[in-house]
Amino acid sequence: MMNPASAPFPIKRYAIALIALSLAALAVTLYQWIELAVMRSGGSAPLCTISATFNCAGVWNSALSESVHRYTGIPVAGWGVAWSVAALILSGLLWQRARQSQPTADTILALRLLTGAGALIAVLLLGYSAAIKVFCPTCIVFYLLVWGSAWLAFFKLKPESTSWAQPLLLTGGVLAVILAALIYPGLRTPVKDLATAALSAVTREADTAASMEQKESPPLNEFLASLPPGVQQATSASLDIYRRSKPIPTMPDPKRVSFGPALAPVHLVEWTDIRCPHCKSMEQALEEIRRITPAGSWTQESRHYPLDTQCNRYALRDGGGISCLGARVQICLRGTPEFSRVRGAMFAQQDSLSIERIWQITAGGDTAKRKSLETCVNSPETERILQEDIELAEKHDFTGTPLVVVNGRKGTAVRPSSIA
């Protein structure tokens, strides 16, 4: 008697559909893993970082993602790769057995185990994103592919038996081999931003050594030597860009100086977007540098480059005015004690920033304070300063935030280069 699952639509057709879904899922998860490695090695933010709500980087840097990577040795994207490869292998096996008219029950049940578990985990991860109010667009695409595979396995494929022993062994064996192969690249993928993490480690060492007066080599040398080879190469490339960049001398603007004396020997100017994850990491790194460098040795000048077409004609997308408001508020608060507090709070809450949230951070429930700030934010002078920041960044061949310029020469967003 003909298997009911193979009557109108043969099993091998469903197997081909599962193969296509698995290949698409593999492409998505490989892209995620590569982007994650690039981002955490000092590269640019992933293309799927669209807004504060739809933000791949925000999900990948979440506490859950870091915990999974830390305790399993494989990032969440790597687990997605493992699922995709396992689904591809089982789907290919199903197609081969159906094509050769061999029994398919064990393979169908194995696919149900794999896709069912994947569908459940996808629901839980989506729930976690809803809880933190940050969603990863590519993750959602992957979830849809997983759910589509589960629908085929449970509602279109009908196994001829219900013995689960062999399917369990088959699914477990395939996953075990794949995960074993992914451990090495998983361990090589940074759990956090390597440059910032390494800087924190070396400054702790420097503090300890200073107190013991036993430090033999400069902290800078130890810091650079402690970086992974890829980050060392990126730092070297950044310094090369700095040496070859065209100098554009600019006198420090005392009103824009956020740290150090205006006439310090080293003048660092940074352009940031308050919603940029790398800008947040840069600020954390600079905080460490401010703590360990001699007083008066350098000055930090803060400028702004909102990645939002509502105030920046060079930007590529509409950001809802959130980055624009964040920049204007900082301009209005420059030179006041409130500047550092508000800037730090906005960076800390960048994944959940909104227009109203910025006003809550800056003014709280003080109506008079908010009204005064609104007057400044909407003033022609504030707009002039913001556009001046944007145009000056473009003169330095702007390619992305954060932009760092030291003594008139452009560097890159690689944090170690700021120290070197």
Residues 184 and 211 in one domain: no
Pairwise pLDDT comparison (397 vs 214), residue with the higher score: 397
Tell whether omega for the bond before 306 is within 30 degrees of 0, i.e. cis. no
Q: Does 200 reside within a domain?
A: no
- Paired strand residues for 49: 55
Share of the chain above pLDDT 90, in %: 49
Residues 6+ apart with CB under 8 A from 4: 158
Residues 124 and 244 in one domain: no
Q: Give the pLDDT band (50/70/90) at residue 222.
A: low
Return the number of other C-beta atoms located less than 10 Å from residue 360's C-beta: 14
Domain hosting 308: range is: 206-419
Residues 358 and 396 in one domain: yes
What is the pLDDT, as a whole number, of residue 111?
Answer: 97
Q: Give the C-alpha distances (Å, rounded to integers) separating 200 from 269, 310, 411.
A: 22, 37, 21
Instruction: Tally the domains of the chain.
Output: 2
Residue 7 has pLDDT above 60, yes or no: no
Place of tokens 């190469």: 233
Residues 211 and 131 in one domain: no
Residues 92 and 222 in one domain: no
Share of the chain above pLDDT 70, in %: 83
**pLDDT, tens only, 57-73:** 778 878 899 889 989 99
What is the pLDDT, as a whole number, of residue 213?
Answer: 44
Classified as helix, coil or strand, 350 is helix
Residues 221 and 314 in one domain: yes
Give Dmax (Cα) for the chain: 90
Residues 275 and 364 in one domain: yes
What is the pLDDT, as a whole number, of residue 205?
Answer: 47
Of these ranges, 195-199, 250-254, 274-278, 386-390, the one predicted with the greatest mean pLDDT is 386-390
Q: Does 19 reside within a domain?
A: yes
Please identify, among 140, 160, 188, the residue that sits at the C-terminal boundary of a domain. Answer: 188
Q: Give the C-alpha distances (Å, rounded to integers) separating 114 from 72, 73, 105, 197, 340.
A: 19, 21, 14, 36, 50
Tell whether omega for the bond before 416 is within 30 degrees of 0, i.e. cis. no
Closest CA to 306 of 329, 282, 322: 322
Q: Does 69 reside within a domain?
A: yes
| Count of CA atoms in the C-beta half-sphere (13 A) of 222 | 14
Q: For the whole prediction, is pTM greater than 0.85?
A: no
User: Angle at CA 283, nearest 5°, toward 252 and 226?
Assistant: 110
Residues 399 and 362 in one domain: yes
Of these ranges, 85-89, 275-279, 402-406, the one predicted with the greatest mean pLDDT is 85-89
Residues 211 and 248 in one domain: yes
Residue 203 has pLDDT above 50, yes or no: no
Q: What is the mean pLDDT of residues 74-88?
A: 96
Q: Give the C-alpha distances (Å, rounded to integers) separating 411 from 188, 356, 397.
A: 26, 34, 11
Q: Give the pLDDT band (50/70/90) at residue 296.
A: confident
Q: Give the pLDDT band (50/70/90) at residue 243.
A: confident
CATH number reported for the structural domain that contains residue 390 in this entry: 3.40.30.10
What is the pLDDT, as a whole number, of residue 45?
Answer: 63
Residue 137 has pLDDT above 90, yes or no: yes
